[in-house]
Amino acid sequence: MNTALPNTLRNGPDGRGRFGEFGGRFVAETLMPLILELEAAYEAAKADPSFQAELDYYLKHYVGRPSAMWHAERLSRELGGAKIYFKRDELNHTGAHKINNCLGQILLAKRMGKTRIIAETGAGQHGVATATVCALFGLPCTVYMGAVDVERQKPNVFRMKLLGAEVVPVSSGAATLKDAMNDAMRDWVANVRDTFYIIGTAAGPHPYPAMVRDFQCVIGEEAKAQMLEAEGRLPDVAVAAIGGGSNAIGLFHPFLDDKSVRLIGVEAAGKGLETSEHAASLSKGRPGVLHGNRTYLLQDDDGQILEAHSISAGLDYPGIGPEHSWLHEIGRVEYVAATDKEALDAFQLCTRTEGIIPALEPSHALAHVSKIAPQMGKDEIILMNLCGRGDKDIFAVAKHLGVEL
Amino acid sequence: MSRIATVFAALKAEGRAALIPFVEAYDPSRETSLTLLHGMAANGADIIEIGMPFTDPMADGPTIQAAGRRGLLAGATLRGTLGLVEEFRRENNHTPLVLMGYLNPILSYGVAAFCADAARLGVDGLIVVDLPTEEADLLLPDASKNGLDVIRLVAPTTSDARLPLVLAGSSGFVYYVSITGITGTRTASAADLARDIPRIRAATDLPIAVGFGVRTPEQAAVVAQHADGAIVASALIETLVRENVDAVLRDVKALAEGVHGARQAA
């Protein structure tokens, strides 16, 4: 099933780090030699069976992989259509898919002899995952986080500090994920010799989009095998939420050549696509260059980057990974959007029917599932990536529901 | 000969280095920028860099970040910055102007249209921070078609083996980012420059200007002993914020004296 087709969609990026017109390496010269060094180190690691074996060891014994695939029967019944399965990456150690990538990158950092780790974080899930692997391997860790996100994700900030990380609140711009990424890049350019930058999403300069994707593909590969075992066939639809797009590319990529599987990415529509407060780069943006790659961006007529908005800090980003931009342009993946309100409804629906409190990020995916499932037949299958758990979000949700904690 | 080449040839004949001060467009108003451009030219600036404000200036420190935000708040756009150049050129046809900034506003304007308009309105060179040599084919053909110099950044991390690649297609001068870091933070020492500049000289005949962390007349003089130009940005913006336009011009004059007297003093 994993045989590459002659016309496979899984060969990207090209030698310049591009997926079609997207991707590339748009960084200052100071960083360029590091990016090239990283690419060479990653290629060597990929070709080294002992690297994959080491990663597999940690994924199994530390993260708890493979994550379960759960038939959400009550939810399926309630929606009254397709049979819905959750790929439960919220069961991973640290509560989200982010750790899959952090482990891969920190093992690479160790191979490269780097002694200091930096990261950016939005919701704090990637920051927590990075702080966790740094604690595990005894490396100092600095996490850049928008000051607004520090405020709305207090539990994760405290977690990171407990894990020994320094959390630097970033107050430039809108003080969210985009600005945290700017400051992480600035740190990196000032500490080029010893520092490894663990980017959390499938964006940034090449080789990050490909590397993060590769480390997240474990999601789709496991789900594919689990689905074949449970149902003897592939799902009809696979759905995932998209901020930068790492959990989605991890789920989608192993299915790209399976033409029968409809792939749907769900962006954050915030207060509505008709407003200016959303994070839907593909639905409402246009191509440009930010954070080292050419991709769809929310920007004004002058090419200034616009602030994104989402109830979910993890989706609050005005760009998207370049491979998604390409998959959008060639039409292999459909990209839709769900509003804050729809995500909140889905959050409660999942909690009530399945006893699983999802993060607000996958709640966006679930919001779309609840739109399409009723229109599908009972013998049709939806696979959704439940990429994070919602414990971190209960304060934000309570606030939106008018509940005082 | 281009304005940039003319200036460096004249300075070389006089045995002097260039002072290259920086103005962030529209910081905090269009009028301030225009006054600064004329005032700098009158107070010893040999070439002037104009910063094109961008929301996400990844290579800049807090000072230039804030300057860019003020510029954007004052209504700066790429079109507006070109308009500033056009107005400056009505009274000054000799001081070279180099636009420095990030790629996205240029992409949004359209690379071909931008290069044509910039050249027509009096821009001499471009420094695009997030366009390394690996991606430069996006800009080089249109820039060279319109006679715009594409000024390349060289960093301490740029290896000798990589230098020829980085310098391929560059013209005007070479911008040596003398520290690993963002603008306006650390300063390279005389020993650093004595080690680094000859390495670049061996790879190019172009003049070499040094930026990032050059703040005082003394530091600018040290740079001028090793390189062909000193670029000063954050320190001047700080003066503008703390004091006023006149104080910036006072500093430019002192910097110019430091740079221009350096080699005689050495």
Distance CA A245, CA A252 (A): 10
Taking only the tens place, the pLDDT of each residue in B31-82 is 999 999 999 999 999 999 999 999 999 999 999 999 999 999 999 999 999 9
A136 sits in which H/E element: helix A125-137
Looking at the predicted structure, is the pLDDT value of residue A174 above 90?
Answer: no
Contact A302 B77 (CB under 8 A): yes
Can you state the percent helix, strand and coil of chain B, rounding each to 5?
50, 15, 35
Number of residues in chain A = 405
Nearest to A27 among B61, B79, B130 (CB): B130
Residue B205 annotated to the active site? no
Residue in chain A closest to B81 (alpha carbons) equals: A302
The answer to whether B106 contacts chain A (CB < 8 Å) is: yes
Contact residues on chain A for B57, CB-CB shorter than 8 A:
182
B192 sits in which H/E element: helix B190-201
B27, B46, B60, B251: which one is catalytic?
Answer: B60
Taking only the tens place, the pLDDT of each residue in A5-39 is 568 999 999 999 999 999 999 999 999 999 999 99
CA distance A36 to chain B (A): 11
Instruction: Render the burial of A34-65: b for 16+ CB within 10 Å, e for the rest.
Output: bbbebbebbeebbeeeebeebbeebbeebbeb
- Percent pLDDT > 90 in chain A is 90
What is the pLDDT confidence band of residue B264, given thresholds at 50, 70 and 90? Answer: low
Q: Summarize the confidence of residues B125-145 as an average pLDDT.
A: 97
| Structural contact between residues B98 and B45, judged by C-beta atoms closer than 8 angstroms | no
Contact residues on chain B for A29, CB-CB shorter than 8 A:
132-133, 152-155, 157-158, 166, 177
Nearest to B153 among A29, A178, A190 (CB): A29
Distance CA B200, CA B177 (A): 12
What residues contact residue A81 under an 8 Å CB cut-off, 6+ apart? A372, A373, A374, A375, A376, A377, A378, A380
Taking only the tens place, the pLDDT of each residue in A51-69 is 999 999 999 999 999 999 9
Looking at the predicted structure, is the pLDDT value of residue B265 above 70?
Answer: no
Taking only the tens place, the pLDDT of each residue in A339-375 is 999 999 999 999 999 999 999 999 999 999 999 999 9
Judged by DSSP in three states, A223 sits in: helix
**Residue recorded with tokens 């200007």:** B209
Residue in chain A closest to B78 (alpha carbons) equals: A302
What is the DSSP secondary-structure string of B84-127? HHHHHHHH-SSS-EEEEE-HHHHHHH-HHHHHHHHHHHT--EEE
Contact residues on chain A for B176, CB-CB shorter than 8 A:
none
Distance CA B112, CA B141 (A): 9
Does the bond joining B28 to the residue before it have cis omega, within 30 degrees of 0?
yes
**Residue A1: predicted pLDDT:** 45
**Residue B71: predicted pLDDT:** 98
Interface test with A, best of B54, B58, B175 (most A CBs within 10 A): B58
Looking at the predicted structure, is the pLDDT value of residue B156 above 70?
Answer: yes
Contact A29 B166 (CB under 8 A): yes
Q: Summarize the confidence of residues A79-105 as an average pLDDT.
A: 97
ipTM comes to 0.95
Distance CA A201, CA A270 (A): 20
The answer to whether B71 contacts chain A (CB < 8 Å) is: no
- Percent pLDDT > 70 in chain A is 99
Nearest to A299 among B62, B106, B108 (CB): B108
Residue B124 annotated to the active site? no
What is the pLDDT confidence band of residue B266, given thresholds at 50, 70 and 90? Answer: very low
Residue in chain B closest to A170 (alpha carbons) equals: B62
**Residue A23: predicted pLDDT:** 98
What's the pTM value of the predicted model, to 2 decimals?
0.96
Contact residues on chain A for B186, CB-CB shorter than 8 A:
190
What is the pLDDT confidence band of residue B142, given thresholds at 50, 70 and 90? Answer: very high
For A193, phi and psi rounded to 5 degrees? Answer: -75, -40
**Residue recorded with tokens 């990196």:** A188
The answer to whether B155 contacts chain A (CB < 8 Å) is: yes
Tell me, what DSSP letter sits at residue A61?
I
Q: Which of A111, A133, A100, A106 is nearest to A44 (CA)?
A: A111
Taking only the tens place, the pLDDT of each residue in B93-120 is 999 999 999 999 999 999 999 999 999 9
Nearest to B134 among A16, A189, A288 (CB): A16
Q: Summarize the confidence of residues A119-131 as an average pLDDT.
A: 93
Interface test with A, best of B52, B54, B55, B133 (most A CBs within 10 A): B55
What residues contact residue B209 under an 8 Å CB cut-off, 6+ apart? B18, B20, B173, B174, B175, B176, B227, B228, B229, B230, B231
Residue in chain B closest to A32 (alpha carbons) equals: B132
Taking only the tens place, the pLDDT of each residue in B183-238 is 888 888 899 999 999 999 999 999 999 999 899 999 999 999 999 999 999 999 99
Judged by DSSP in three states, A376 sits in: coil
Interface test with A, best of B69, B108, B109, B131 (most A CBs within 10 A): B108
Residue in chain B closest to A290 (alpha carbons) equals: B104
Give me A380's structure tokens.
Answer: 């049709």
